[in-house]
Amino acid sequence: MEEFNIVIERGEDEYYIGSVIELPGCHSQAKSIDKLMERMKEAIELYLEVERDIKSPQFIGIQKLRLKPVRLPSSA
């Protein structure tokens, strides 16, 4: 059994959007997380059916990077 990492975001229209990190271009959306997971499973199966021979990148992790606000010089 294969495992995949899915990033879930909520769009402005209140839909949940899922993207599979290991499968570039493999996305879906739904109004609920449960429905999204059903659709993601279908999307992954279809993706693998078509792209079985493509070597996908290995997921390592997610990092958060915090930057200080940049102050632009005022044009006086």
From 49, 47, 50, 27, select the one nearest 39 (Cα to Cα): 27
Residue 6 has pLDDT above 90, yes or no: yes
- What is the fold, at CATH topology level, of the domain defined by 6-51? Double Stranded RNA Binding Domain (3.30.160)
Residue 65 has pLDDT above 90, yes or no: no
Q: Which of 2-11, 17-26, 29-38, 56-65 has the lowest mean pLDDT?
A: 56-65
**Residue 41 confidence class, pLDDT cut points 50, 70, 90:** very high
Closest CA to 44 of 17, 25, 16: 25
> CA-CA distance, 30 to 14, in Å (whole number)?
9
CA gap 13, 68 in Å, rounded: 30
